[in-house]
Amino acid sequence: MDTVTRRKFLQLTAGASIGAAAAFLSIEEIAAAASARPLASGTPILVIVTLYGGNDGLNTVIPFKDPIYYSSRPDISYKQESVLQLDSQYGLNPSMTGIANLWKDGKVAIVRGAGYPSPDRSHFSSMAKWQSGSPKTLSKSGWIGRWIDSQPDDPMLAISLGSVLPPLLAGEKKVGSALPLGGLVIPQGTVGADFRKLSLPSTSDSKLRSLAANSMKDLFNISEKITPILKKPEPTEVELPTINGGNAGGDSNLTQQLNIVSKLIQADAPTRVWSVSLGGFDTHANEANAQSILLGSVSSAIDKFMSGLKTSKHGADVVVLVYSEFGRRVVGNASKGTDHGTSGPMFIIGDKIKGGFYGDQPSLSNLVDGDLSVTTDFRDVYASLIEDVLKSPADRYLNNWKGRTKFYKAR
Amino acid sequence: MDINRLETARLFHRFGFGPRPGEFVNAVNAGVSATREKLFANSGTDLGLMNVPQLVVTDLGKRPSPDDPQLASYTSELRRQNTELTTWWLDRMALADFSLQEKATWFWHGHWATSIKKLNFALPMYKQHQTLQKYALGNFNEMVTAMLDDGALQFWLDGQENTAKSPNENLARELMELFTLGVGRYSEADVKELSRALTGIQVARSSGEVTFKKNRFDNGTKSILGVSQNFDRTSAGKFLVSQPDSKRFITERFWFRYMSSQFPLPEETEFEGAFESREIRELLLALASSDAMRDTRYELVKSPVEWFIAVCRALSVTPSKLTKNSALLNYLEKLAQVPFDPPNVGGWPTDDAWLSSASAQFRASFASWLIAQGDISPIENLTPGERVQKTADLLGVVEWSARTKSALEGNTKNSKRLILLAICSPEYLVSA
């Protein structure tokens, strides 16, 4: 990932101080917390997947019956027979088989035409609006960050994967934590066995030496719990097309990120909100193949994530949110790509979700300045997630926003 | 337990930062008194310190306003200076020949515990560090005088807020409680009176420059510990240091950090007599020569910085050359001890505070990271059969327990692994 651009994004969105204020966690710390105070089963968990770059919504949820779709973008449209049909008019991008299967199981809510008033076409300011949850008067805090502010101090409460904290998790007073990727260091195998030997009591031990030995024994109590879960890291994914659309932030290894989140959820980490990301959606050129690979990666990563949790006691408690900072223009450009647009679909996935479409599909014949209209305000979705998943009153975090989207099954 | 090895190991680990390759065995062979003599001998020029990279700290002046384009370069320079100051000191600890001096400076930093977190600037911290270096083994009376003129300490404890019109007691209280007398050896009225004596100071934060403003100074008579006169900061400091309680207190503090924080300083010791003239070196020499050095009850846990520096010395590591410095500081932060950033004015904790399971985990990954960059040839060049005992000699460990020996003996063919386990062993973490 282009770290310079990414840093620029963070500076533009929430001030440079956020990264510095975030606590960096290690797997070990989370494992220790999981062991000391496991999350009670039945506690809902929110997993937020941010797609950086502006995902082309029209090629994600495809209106395959609409002739304007085909006439607007002849080079980059999907034929009816190739899409994964959701109903008689809409189908998913052909690469999204995993999410299509979850849809069949009734676990996927798709909110169409999601956005906010007066859409901003800058990656940075539009993402700032989405992440702050305050599109009108841009707030420096994130919508989850303000929720964190209201909760008791706990570095495990909300965790972002990767070494920089997204503005989403930055509150006015407190911030979420960051778990840098690739830091899985727990002595394993023969080193682990040797460390275990060092932790044994010895008759010659003084008081402090026996305490020192014992501190390493505790280490292995935790490791025993966590190591089997973390033992087999997934192979990293095939190379993703970041060259085309990868200069607008986001990480590149969603499968790996979700794999770690899955394992930590299974280990009972006391974490209520996880944040992961995938970049590369800024497909100004040669979009079809690139976006398809990215969406395939999102789809299979989420599918693996959900099926991996099936047997876990937390499986039914997990709700996944997928969004991007904007959709793309309806009409394709001269480089077989699309430029920055407005609204796009949001996905909410989980056992507790009532599958189906929410919000109207923006009409292709009635565009606003050549762009899709916004039919659902993203704050409706946030408010419902705060109430139903985070079990908190949404008004105070979203400036008394009244709209709701009822995709959560009644308790 | 071999008492000569015990005493030698304590001389290295407590009065210095641990032996370099070969030093421990040579010292055991030379005998305890020769080792002590060498430890206390100051040749004048420390050749080891010649290898410490030059430190550049400057006065950065006032912070540009948020919309000033200079702000970015200003903050990056600020960060560079702060990081470099820290690694520079770690380098000194790791490379110094005259380890007694560096260790005593480290002690005094924990004593006058001032944090860069509040100061924000490297320059005032660097100036304070120089003062602590200068008097680390010198005269405590002179040290107190100098420290009351120290911008970093003054700012840290709100000395610049303390004026004749509106006194601020922060510095006065800590001066008596933590720096010179000890808690309970003064009254609340003494705190108030002393704060009046300390008035008149202004501090330029970015440089640490202190100026005395006559109109901010309370020019009246103050009554401190039963003595009334027109004290100012210098005379009040000297007065406090002259108290018998001060002699006792400083002796207690050295006992706590150099000998035992589990067992209090015994009532009757030779140490206070050695500190009669407030010469710090004399007090340290008395401690290093005492019977307590051979008392096996008095064990001490190496703090994270002490552990790290001891490993650096054993494996010939220069901290600032580790890749990367940010990873190094991150490890130290995880272990909760970064020089120039004590947790509070009371300094760092001791012993069991450093023995949490979370620290054990960080220490294990820190240790693997360090060993990958260290020189393991002193062990690698030996035959597998010699390695376990020679690792104890390299590290200055008195003896391995049966437990640790068994863990190490399974790894005699893998020197890296052997050293990893050895530096994480209870016998290394705890100075016997």
pLDDT tens digit string along A59-99? 999 999 999 999 999 989 999 999 999 999 999 999 999 99
Could you read off the pLDDT of A183-194 as tens digits, one per residue? 444 555 677 788
Domain presence at residue B26: yes
Average the pLDDT over each of A149-163, A289-303, B103-117, B301-315 and give the range with the smallest value: A149-163
User: How many angstroms separate the CA atoms of B40 and B33, rounded?
Assistant: 11
Cis peptide before B324 (omega within 30 of 0): yes
Domains and CATH numbers, chain A: 3-184+233-388 (3.40.720.10)
- Neighbouring residues of A328: CB distance < 8 A, sequence distance ≥ 6: A54, A55, A56, A57, A58, A283, A338, A339, A340, A341, A344
Range of the domain at B215: 52-242
Both B222 and B93 in a single domain?
yes
Average the pLDDT over each of A210-214, A243-247, A291-295, A315-319 and give the range with the smallest value: A243-247
* Cβ pair A202:B404 closer than 8 A: yes
What's the pLDDT score for residue A223?
A: 53
Please state the rounded mean pLDDT for residues B321-326: 89
Both B74 and B210 in a single domain?
yes
Please state the rounded mean pLDDT for residues B335-364: 82
Domain presence at residue B282: no
Domain presence at residue B251: no
Both B209 and B330 in a single domain?
no
* Cβ pair A212:B429 closer than 8 A: yes
Average the pLDDT over each of A45-59, A206-220, B190-204, B283-297 and give the range with the smallest value: A206-220
| Averaged confidence pLDDT in chain B | 94
Please state the rounded mean pLDDT for residues B308-314: 98
Rounded to 10°, the helix B415-424/B357-371 angle is 150
Nearest to A29 among B355, B358, B364 (CB): B358
Domains: count for chain B: 2
Both B59 and B187 in a single domain?
yes
Residue type at A341?
G
pLDDT band at A226 (very low <50, low <70, confident <90, very high): low
For residues A283 and A73, the answer to whether their CB atoms sit within 8 Å is no
What's the pLDDT score for residue B116?
A: 93
Extract the tokens encoding B308.
């790290």
pLDDT band at A228 (very low <50, low <70, confident <90, very high): low
Both B74 and B28 in a single domain?
no
Determine contact: A215 vs chain B, CB below 8 A.
yes
**Higher pLDDT residue, A2 or B413?**
B413
Both B60 and B144 in a single domain?
yes
Domain presence at residue B264: no
Domain presence at residue B408: yes
For residues B303 and B107, the answer to whether their CB atoms sit within 8 Å is no
Both B104 and B152 in a single domain?
yes
What's the pLDDT score for residue A90?
A: 97
What's the pLDDT score for residue B350?
A: 86
Both B87 and B150 in a single domain?
yes
* Cβ pair A213:B403 closer than 8 A: yes
Determine contact: B404 vs chain A, CB below 8 A.
yes
Please state the rounded mean pLDDT for residues B301-322: 97
Residue of chain A minimizing CA distance to B416: A191
Please state the rounded mean pLDDT for residues B382-402: 97
Determine contact: A180 vs chain B, CB below 8 A.
no
Interface test with B, best of A206, A210, A226 (most B CBs within 10 A): A206
Question: Strand ranges (DSSP E) for B68-213?
Answer: 201-204, 209-212
Domain presence at residue B261: no
Please state the rounded mean pLDDT for residues A194-206: 89
Nearest to A32 among B300, B358, B364 (CB): B358
Distance from CA of B291 to the nearest CA of A (A): 19
- What is A115-152 written as a DSSP string? E-SS----HHHHHHHHHHT-SSS--SS-HHHHHHHTSP
Please state the rounded mean pLDDT for residues A195-213: 89
- What is A28-39 written as a DSSP string? HHHHHHHHHSPP
pLDDT band at B118 (very low <50, low <70, confident <90, very high): confident
* Cβ pair B401:A204 closer than 8 A: yes
* pLDDT at residue A232 is higher than 60: no
* pLDDT at residue B137 is higher than 70: yes
Domain presence at residue B365: yes
Both B67 and B188 in a single domain?
yes
Residue B227 DSSP SS3: strand
Both B151 and B232 in a single domain?
yes
Average the pLDDT over each of A15-29, B118-132, B171-185 and give the range with the smallest value: A15-29
* pLDDT at residue B185 is higher than 70: yes
**Higher pLDDT residue, B117 or A92?**
A92
* pLDDT at residue A247 is higher than 60: no
Average the pLDDT over each of A154-158, B130-134, B239-243, B410-414 and give the range with the smallest value: A154-158
| Averaged confidence pLDDT in chain A | 83
Both B29 and B79 in a single domain?
no
Both B385 and B427 in a single domain?
yes
Domain presence at residue B268: no
What's the pLDDT score for residue A214?
A: 80
